[in-house]
């Protein structure tokens, strides 16, 4: 029991790293969604070369280990381009966003495939623009379908973020390592970090479920 109390007392020492982890994951999630939309648009394009680039990007990113990709961006690309020292924080955000976008685009593509294509044609016949069709008809229907998988991808970003500690980002994992060296106890800081990771992922799961409950009736009304 005394040891658990000691673990709880370490949690405040990790909050700065925890906030960095949350910030990185939030920025990476927004970036992944933006890139995924572009990939999806390219995948549905009339130009074969855009479709080919989109498919190639998704294939490479889904097959490349995230740690290797992070190292390529942080060590390999700057050396190749002669950029010198680059920001580990922003390399981490970009790496997670680019990698996550490949998975998110596939989630969105699968969700859209479950919607009857005739609805978009009917919207066009009614005079709705492509933007109006997406905003009023398609997005409200495929978002509830895609939400559980999107929440899973966000959880993946959180679970992948400790890899950024390898390039000196002082996230939750690296902060726990620093505290471990200060107090000469590697276990207690890791247990405290694990608790914070669990609380973050659990909160995301609860939020996802609440959004599903909120969006389901609206999707059924359409």
The C-alpha atoms of residue 89 and residue 147 are separated, in whole angstroms, by 28
Check residue 194 and give its pLDDT.
94
CB of 136 within 8 A of CB of 11? no
Output DSSP code: residue 166. Answer: G
* Most distant pair of Cα atoms in the chain: their distance: 70
CATH class of 2-220: mainly alpha
DSSP H or E segment with residue 173: helix 172-183
Check residue 220 and give its pLDDT.
52
Domain ranges for the chain, please list them.
2-220
| pLDDT tens-place values along the chain, 222 residues long | 566 666 778 888 899 999 999 999 999 999 999 999 899 888 878 888 999 999 999 999 999 999 999 999 999 888 888 877 889 999 999 999 999 999 999 998 888 877 776 666 666 666 667 677 777 777 777 777 788 888 889 999 999 999 999 998 999 999 999 999 998 888 989 999 999 999 999 999 998 888 877 766 554 555
Q: Give the Cβ contact number of residue 17 at 10 Å.
A: 23
The C-alpha atoms of residue 106 and residue 150 are separated, in whole angstroms, by 10
Which of 197, 130, 117 has its CA nearest to residue 157?
Answer: 197
Check residue 66 and give its pLDDT.
94
Give Cα 62 to chain centroid, integer Å.
13
């Amino acid at each position: 029991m005394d040891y658990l109390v000691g673990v709880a007392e370490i949690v405040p020492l990790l909050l700065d790293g925890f906030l960095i982890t949350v910030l990185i994951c939030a920025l990476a999630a927004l970036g992944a969604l933006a890139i995924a939309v572009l990939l999806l648009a390219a995948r549905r394009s009339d130009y074969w070369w855009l479709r080919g680039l989109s498919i190639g990007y998704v294939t490479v990113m889904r097959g490349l280990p995230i740690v290797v990709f992070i190292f390529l961006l942080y060590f390999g690309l700057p050396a190749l381009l002669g950029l010198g020292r680059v920001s580990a924080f922003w390399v981490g955000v970009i790496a997670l966003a680019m990698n996550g976008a490949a998975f998110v685009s596939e989630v969105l593509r699968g969700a859209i495939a479950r919607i009857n294509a005739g609805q978009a044609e009917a919207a066009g016949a009614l005079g709705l623009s492509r933007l109006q069709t997406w905003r009023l008809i398609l997005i409200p229907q495929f978002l509830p379908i895609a939400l559980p998988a999107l929440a899973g991808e966000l959880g993946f970003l959180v679970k992948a973020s400790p890899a950024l500690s390898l390039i000196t980002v002082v996230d939750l994992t690296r902060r726990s390592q620093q505290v471990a060296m200060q107090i000469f106890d590697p276990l207690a800081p890791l247990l405290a970090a694990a608790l914070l990771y669990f609380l973050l992922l659990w909160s995301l799961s609860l939020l996802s479920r609440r959004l599903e409950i909120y969006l389901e009736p609206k999707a059924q009304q359409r």
